[in-house]
Amino acid sequence: MSTTDPAFPALHGRPDQGWINDPNGCIKVDGVHHLFFQFNPDAPIHGNIHWGHATSTDLVRWTQQPIALFPREGTADAAGAWSGVVAFDGDMPTAFYTGIAESEHASQVMTATSDRTLLEWQQESHGILGMPDEPGIGAVRDPFLFTFNSVQYAIQGAGYENGTPAILLYRCHSMTNWEYLGPLVTGASGIARDWAPAEIWECPQLFEVDEQWILMLSLWNRDDHALDRVVYLSGELSEGGAGLKFLPTAGGLVDSGNAFYAPQVVAGTKAEPRTLMWGWSWEKSRPEASIHAAGWAGVLTYARQLSFLNGALISEPVAEVTSLRAGILSDGAGGADVPVNERAFEVVAAGAAELVMVDGDTQTVVASVNAGRILVDGSLIEIFGADASSATERAYPTATSRFEIHAPESTRVTVHRLAL
């Protein structure tokens, strides 16, 4: 069970059992952060997708709430309540999500409403939007809402049948009356093709941070289905064409690790001025038999704060993560291997350092920094370099393994125990 599984990320607020994937509907209401996520409560496999729900007042200590959205027999979400967002329609919190009835190639945008507690939801029986009248489109999903020049718009991720990814643009005349305006950008050529090669762009996020517009894309390809690359395109958003134009001018990786996908971004508001992001880390490097034995799969990262500096998108853990520090395990110069027998800990290195998993005579380097922080919670490893780099990795401790910190004598290393 997860309570005894040394690989279980106990500080990251996921349910003890079941499958989770994409973060959804992230929003702060009346001082409470709400984090929804794709959730199969019955098994550690993708299927029977609901929306799970957790809440926090400090971004690091999470309380599981009742399941928010359910797949319902005979409706447009019978095969799954897939990813989306939560926004206000007037005074009413409203979820906008992808409903799957039989095939992901015939999805609908579905809605559900709640009060300001966001604890009980009323799902509508019919969608507000089906597949667009766009020749050659093979798949559409993951609605995202944003405002430009005081006008409400929405986008969805998509892919053409010929293998070209696209972002589809809608004008929201009301929150439930969307007009399709056409592709905002495609991956057919230029910077978008070079940085974001994919068959479908999933979980698109279009937002402004530090006066720079960012389009964030999760890259889906049928052949490898790797789900481990998320990129951003920085560029110029302007009025034009059928509604808006987005001209990419540069690109980059959101996270350079092998275990980060489908993030959701919450642009800054009066209630929460920071631009926040959560990502999904899945168990692709863990044997299937081990996943089923453990009974859980998938975890969301710590909340990260985004900024745009010197032409690059930067993510770092929110400051609240330091409140999990519960004592210093080691502090001093490197040169000797430092064993760590804790499920959750933080390494702060002033120079080069490696995180090594030791099991018997086998030693495996699972993370490294030239200088920076390594946050470990069970099998989840989040790495933040002093050079503004970030990477998410997975490594699975067992009853016979341990972590060690290896660093040269010239590097000062502090190891903090983390606890709720």
Q: For residue 5, is it within any domain?
A: no
What mean pLDDT comes out for the span 225-237?
91
The answer to whether residue 51 sits within a structural domain is: yes
CA distances from 228 to 95, 223, 259, 287, 373 (A): 26, 14, 5, 17, 21
Percent of the chain with pLDDT over 90: 91
What's the pLDDT score for residue 215?
A: 98
Asked whether residue 215 is assigned to any structural domain, the reply reads: yes
Percent of the chain with pLDDT over 70: 98
Domain check: are 344 and 303 in the same one?
no
Last residue of a domain, which of 281, 302, 317? 317
Domain boundary pick from 317, 333, 368: 317
Whole-angstrom Cα distance, residue 195 to residue 193? Answer: 6
304 with 407, same domain: the answer is no
Whether residue 113 sits in one domain with residue 16: yes
Q: Are residues 347 and 273 both part of a single domain?
A: no
Q: What is the Cα–Cα distance from 376 to 365, expressed in whole angstroms?
A: 14
DSSP 129: B
What mean pLDDT value characterizes the chain?
95
| 223 inside domain | yes
Q: Which of 317, 350, 366 is the last residue of a domain?
A: 317
pTM given for the model: 0.96
Q: Residues 368, 387: contact at Cβ < 8 Å?
A: no
Q: What is the mean predicted confidence (pLDDT) over 54-66? A: 98
Does residue 16 surpass a pLDDT of 60?
A: yes
Which amino acid is residue 258, in one-letter code? N
Are 83 and 219 found together in one domain?
yes
**Is 381 contained in some domain?**
yes
Q: What is the pLDDT of residue 240?
A: 86
Q: Do 111 and 183 lie in a common domain? A: yes
**CATH number of residue 179's parent domain:** 2.115.10.20
The pLDDT tens digits of the residues spanning 204-213 come to: 999 999 999 9
Residues 279 and 335 in one domain: no
Report yes or no on 340 lying in a domain: yes
Residue 1 banded pLDDT, cuts 50, 70, 90: very low
Burial class of residue 293 in the structure, from the number of CB atoms within 10 Å of its CB (0-12 exposed, 13-18 middle, 19+ buried): exposed
Q: pLDDT-derived band of residue 2, with 50, 70 and 90 as boundaries?
A: low
Nearest to 343 by CA among 408, 257, 402: 402
Domain annotation covers residue 267: yes
The dihedral formed by the CA atoms of 271, 266, 71 and 92, expressed in degrees to the nearest 10: 30
What type of residue is 364?
T
Same domain assignment for residues 310 and 335: no
Asked, for residue 298, whether it belongs to a domain, the answer is yes
- When comparing pLDDT for 270 and 202, which is higher? 202
* Helix boundaries (H) for 146-304: 190-195, 288-294
Residue 398 sits in a domain whose CATH number is: 2.60.120.560
Domain count, the chain: 2
pLDDT value at 333 more than 90: no
Closest to 220 measured CA to CA, from 170, 262, 278, 162: 262
User: What is the rounded distance in angstroms from the CA atom of residue 105 to the CA atom of residue 110?
Assistant: 15
Q: Residues 204, 300: one domain? A: yes
| Residue range(s) defining the domain that contains residue 36 | 10-317
Q: Is the pLDDT of residue 366 over 80?
A: yes
pLDDT number for residue 271? 82
Pairing between strand 63-69 and 230-240? unpaired
